[in-house]
Amino acid sequence: MLLALWVSCSLCVDWRPVVLMHGIGADANSMSLPVAWIKAAFPGIYVKNIEIGNGYWDSFFIKMSDQVDLFASQVREDPNLKRGFNLVGYSQGSLITRGYIERYNDPPVHNYITWSGPHAGTFGIPVVEWTWLFKDIWDMLYDAEVQQSVTFAQYWRDPYDLPVYLEVSLYLADLNNERPAKNETYKQNIISLNNMVLLYTTVDDTVLPGRSGWFETYAPNDDSKIVPLEESALFVEDWIGLKVLNTTNRLHRFSCSCKHNQYPDEICHPTFDLYTLPYLNNTFTDM
């Protein structure tokens, strides 16, 4: 009797929904375990696990801005999300989801969690199954046709060629407000978040440098040095609102030892419970 009452009450909790976005070279199925973990922790919660097009191949070849628009369409068409939601982005999915926040954020994101997102770009050949693709186009990543065709070219940030990056980058330079003309909406939408949670792995061999997950990147003309977030112009001049989040205790940075491709796997379940689950534990009735 008491157990039945507890189950009934737990299912009536007005949990804030959760939206998940997978990474590059993957599809929604890759996030099946995190979906199960969330539903087990919060009975009755609504979870939307988004896939854009044919997840695996389209994650490489649909332009990042177009993926943001397609992501926004799926969110806006879902009546279960109309009051807002918590958002988890994984790897490239972190940039798609941040694009949604900065460019749309309607319905609004409450807590935003990213797993090894290349927020400050990536530079270098990763140790992944599609290394061949990087090697084949390394010297062409700033070519206009490649920028239009390959997603990771749009967040490739070469510390030895920053003027060209700022000129031709189709996605990241805009998203991070790195150009002289700043988009104030991007900043205001980030500031509106309840929390931003940045998780990176100390053993990342896919996003280079791994600390890009904390918005940290290589120093100009020196890929042996990483500029701490607090010393970057992005933070000091507060181009997208990270400084405001930090000073109001809403920017949370954590590190882990999961391999880049293991975040949604059982081996990283404890990491999920420690750094993600607490930020999903909220309802529409919370003050």
The whole model's pTM is what? Answer: 0.93
**223 catalytic residue (yes or no):** no
> Collapsing DSSP states into helix, strand and coil, what is residue 109?
strand
Q: Which of 22, 110, 119, 260 is catalytic?
A: 260
Delimit the domains of the chain by residue range. 22-280
Q: Which of 204, 212, 238, 255 is catalytic?
A: 204
Residue 269 host element (H or E): helix 269-275
**What percent of the chain is predicted at pLDDT more than 70?**
91
**224 catalytic residue (yes or no):** no
Nearest to 200 by CA among 110, 280, 279, 275: 275
pLDDT tens track for 218-252: 999 999 999 999 999 999 999 999 999 999 999 99
Question: Which range has the worst mean pLDDT, 38-52, 147-161, 164-178, 267-281?
Answer: 147-161
Q: What are phi and psi of 57, to 5 degrees?
A: -75, -40
> Collapsing DSSP states into helix, strand and coil, what is residue 218?
strand
Q: List beta partners, residue 200.
A: 255
Q: What is the pLDDT of residue 278?
A: 98
Residue whose tokens read 């922790």: 41
The whole-angstrom distance between residue 96's C-alpha and the CA centroid of its chain comes to: 6
Question: Which CATH number applies to 22-280: 3.40.50.1820, 3.40.50.300, 3.40.50.740, 3.40.50.1010?
Answer: 3.40.50.1820
DSSP at 227: E
| Cα(114)–Cα(135) distance, integer angstroms | 27
Q: Are 92 and 61 in contact (CB under 8 A)?
A: no
Q: What is the pLDDT of residue 129?
A: 57
pLDDT tens track for 80-137: 999 999 999 999 999 999 999 999 999 999 999 999 999 999 998 766 555 556 556 6
Q: Which of 91, 94, 116, 255 is catalytic?
A: 91
Q: What is the 3-state secondary structure (H, E, C) of 61-90?
A: HCCHHHHHHHHHHHHHCCHHHCCCEEEEEE
**73 catalytic residue (yes or no):** no
